[in-house]
Amino acid sequence: MQTQKGAAAHAAPTHLAVQGLSKTFGDHRALASIDLTVARGELVTLLGPSGCGKTTLLRCIAGFIAQDAGHIRIDGRSLDGSPPHKRNFGMVFQGYAVFPHLTVAENVAYGLRARGVAAGQRAERVARALDRVQLSHLAQRFPDALSGGQKQRVGIARALVIEPDLLLMDEPLSNLDAKLRVEMRQEIRLMQRELGITTLYVTHDQDEAMSISDRVAVMQGGVIQQIAPPEVVFDDPANAFVADFIGGCNWIEAEVAGDPAVLHIAGEAALPLPPAAGVRGPVRAGIRAEDLGLAAPDAPGLAARVLVRSFLGPRTRLRVETPGGLRLDVDLPSADCPREGDALRLAPLPGRIRLYARDDGRRLA
């Protein structure tokens, strides 16, 4: 049942379809006409800053919140008006939501009981689910005698044992410590692929989103800003928000002019742009720290001086300042890295300057 990474996204048919979904709380627009499709077996993460509407979207899909407008379909079947307990979606909660008065096994059996699964079959499926999350030895424990990681495994087993049409996870790992988080996200990814279960995963941790997703939906202000595979979101951001939120960016207010096009930065040297850039006029230029390098001696570049140096292992991050007062972050290999106070000249790697509109941040080039 192993699916190739990315293959599911493109080959498999649409499983979940969200169309024009809107939700307003009072006068706060939490979701603004969301369109989203998830293919069968695909894992899509909703990634965005706090308050951007991730949980609201997930809870609309789970049926806990009634949308103001729009539709949710699963396999083409509309879910409008269907209550949460009839949707057959599995949900994993940030706070675990493990029933404290039931043992681990009873927790996992809960959804099967609700479905009237016969006792014999129930025990068998619970055993298998516990085995999958490596909790068989704790089946008779009560939750208050479990660690956070173990509780979340119970939550996952409980959601998976009902063989849901869709798995919804709302920041399932954010209550765990950093090391366990990395371990568990790999386990979740592995399990998800093995079972081929369509999954919508909410997080505000971009590493987590990047490492487990088939596609990432970057959200902001109740709008999906971009939905694409992780590498595309990173390398080819749709707008300034995505570029800034994913990976971070140096932002420079500049002007594009001339033929071939050149980027003029007030008080600094001009930087050449790729020939294809058809944009002219005022722009916001975005350059990632890792896309800046030391300029060759005779090539154009920005003169600067190192303010702060932070060692990050193989790379070192420098905060530099140009004579014109522009401050930039630069990642350089740690070997032979300039020291604080050193002067250097920086140039963007070819084709790595992205241009965005100053007003709405849309991508220009």
Give the separation between CA 37 and CA 35, rounded to whole angstroms: 7
> Which residues in 96-155 contact ligand ATP (CB under 6 A)?
none
Task: Provide CB contacts within 8 A for 8, sequence distance 6+.
Answer: 39, 40, 41, 42, 196, 214
Length of the chain: 365
Residue 169 binds ligand ATP, judged by CB under 6 A: no
SS3 content of the chain, % helix, strand, coil (to 5): 30, 35, 40
Give the separation between CA 210 and CA 44, rounded to whole angstroms: 10
Residue 56 binds ligand ATP, judged by CB under 6 A: yes
Residue of 115, 280, 327, 362 that binds another protein (CB under 8 A): 115
**Nearer of residues 164 and 222 to ligand ATP, judged by Cβ:** 222
3-class DSSP state for residue 315?
strand
> Which residues in 22-51 contact ligand ATP (CB under 6 A)?
25, 28, 30, 48, 50-51
Shortest distance, position 99 Cβ to Mg ion, whole Å: 22
Q: Among Mg ion, another protein, ligand ATP, none, what does residue 30 contact (CB within 5–8 Å per kind)? A: ligand ATP
Give the separation between CA 229 and CA 238, rounded to whole angstroms: 12
CA angle, corner 275, sides to 269 and 276, nearest 5?
125
Shortest distance, position 51 Cβ to Mg ion, whole Å: 8
Residue 99 binds another protein, judged by CB under 8 A: yes
Q: Among another protein, Mg ion, ligand ATP, none, what does residue 189 contact (CB within 5–8 Å per kind)? A: none
> Which residues in 202-221 contact ligand ATP (CB under 6 A)?
204
Residue 52 binds ligand ATP, judged by CB under 6 A: yes
Sort strands 43-47 and 215-220 into parallel, antiparallel or unpaired.
Answer: parallel
Site string for Mg ion, 43-62 (x = CB under 5 A): ------------x-------
3-state secondary structure string across 224-272: EEEEECHHHHHHCCCEHHHHHHCCCCEEEEEEEECCCCEEECCCCCCEE
Residue of 41, 48, 53, 90 that binds another protein (CB under 8 A): 90
Residue 81 binds another protein, judged by CB under 8 A: yes
Residue 89 binds another protein, judged by CB under 8 A: yes
CA distances from 100 to 42, 51, 137, 151, 293 (A): 32, 29, 18, 10, 55
Residue of 53, 111, 230, 338 that binds another protein (CB under 8 A): 111
Residue 85 binds another protein, judged by CB under 8 A: yes
Q: Cite the DSSP H helix spans in the chain.
A: 7-11, 54-62, 104-114, 119-132, 148-160, 178-195, 206-212, 230-235, 240-245
Contacting positions for another protein (CB under 8 A): 62, 64, 66-69, 80-81, 83-91, 93, 95, 97-101, 110-111, 113-115, 155, 158-159, 162
Contacting positions for Mg ion (CB under 5 A): 55
Contacting positions for ligand ATP (CB under 6 A): 25, 28, 30, 48, 50-56, 204
